[in-house]
Amino acid sequence: MRAMPQPSAPRRTTGRPPRISREQVLDTARRIVDEDGVDRLTMRRLATEIGSTPMALYHHVSNKEELLVLLLDDYAARTLRRPRMPDRPRERVVLAAATIHEVLAACPWIVPVLTADDLMAASALWFVEQIVDGLVECGLTPERAVHGYRAIWYYTAGEIVVRTTAARRRADDDRPTYRERVFADLDPSETPRLAQVADHWAPLTAEDTYMEGLRALVDGLLATR
């Protein structure tokens, strides 16, 4: 059973005194990511730069994934600024989601974290509150409002994950993917619409249409069918 001390747990008096702290680990990790990107963040390098050994880190974070979660929370806490909220609740929902999206989309290294967990960073809770509250004020029951928030989160996380990974793919490897080849020689008699837009497909899918989709989703959630 691993210890995993709380960030501000009272100092233990017993046992070997720690030479490194979780804060130190996070600070160094953040610097490495800032300077060289998340790909260069390895447990060995992190340990070396701290002046310790890889396995020592595991007494301060339970594994690399949790380290990334903590980094994201830290990033969100530093970057997320609460905007002035509009009066109309529907616009509050849109603005809260858009703000979260804007901040997350700006740091592509969060992708594994996004897939790993819900957005429960302490600093993001206020935005979740705004979304749920806005939906309730528009007439949804609290239950449906939570479901609505989930839908917004799925859409937001999916947009970031799919888009960022596709972009990284193109950057890593300029050969056309298998999927691109499939799309290139599609059969116009089977899929006439796709054949029709095939030439514009790449630029069309490269456009940033997050806001349009978000507004559509919120509209649909609030429409009384």
Tokens of 41: 């963040």
Q: Is 12 in the site for DNA (CB under 7 A)?
A: yes
* Cβ-based nearer residue to its own copies, 49 or 102: 102
Q: Which does 20 bind (CB under 5 to 8 A by kind): DNA, its own copies, none?
A: DNA
58: left (phi over 0), alpha (psi -120 to 50) or beta: alpha
Rounded CA-CA distance 167/19 in Å is: 40
Q: Is 14 in the site for DNA (CB under 7 A)?
A: yes
Q: Is 21 in the site for its own copies (CB under 8 A)?
A: no
Rounded CA-CA distance 74/68 in Å is: 10
Per-residue CA distances from 83 to 91, 112, 170, 179, 208 (Å): 12, 27, 34, 40, 22
Q: Is 64 in the site for DNA (CB under 7 A)?
A: yes
4: left (phi over 0), alpha (psi -120 to 50) or beta: left
Q: Is the dihedral of CA 147, 149, 151, 154 positive or negative?
A: negative
Q: Is 188 in the site for its own copies (CB under 8 A)?
A: no
Rounded CA-CA distance 89/70 in Å is: 31
Q: Is 70 in the site for its own copies (CB under 8 A)?
A: yes
* Cβ-based nearer residue to its own copies, 53 or 106: 106
Rounded CA-CA distance 217/212 in Å is: 9
To DNA, the closest distance from the beta carbon of 126 in angstroms equals: 31
The structure tokens 């806490």 sit at 77
Tell which residue, 202, 197, 207, 210, has the closest CA to residue 177: 202
Q: Is 104 in the site for its own copies (CB under 8 A)?
A: no
Q: Is 207 in the site for its own copies (CB under 8 A)?
A: yes
Q: Is 6 in the site for DNA (CB under 7 A)?
A: no
* Cβ-based nearer residue to its own copies, 171 or 182: 182
Rg from Cα positions in the chain:
22
To DNA, the closest distance from the beta carbon of 87 in angstroms equals: 46
Task: Output phi, psi for 62, to 5 deg.
Answer: -75, -30
To its own copies, the closest distance from the beta carbon of 42 in angstroms equals: 20
Q: Is 141 in the site for DNA (CB under 7 A)?
A: no
Interacting residue ranges for its own copies, rule: CB under 8 A: 66, 69-70, 111, 114-118, 120-122, 125-126, 128-129, 132-133, 136, 142-143, 145-148, 150-151, 153-159, 161-162, 165-166, 169, 177-180, 182-183, 186, 190-194, 196-197, 200-201, 204-205, 207, 209, 212-213, 215-221, 223, 225
Chain residues binding DNA by CB under 7 A are 3, 5, 12-20, 41-45, 52-56, 58-60, 63-65
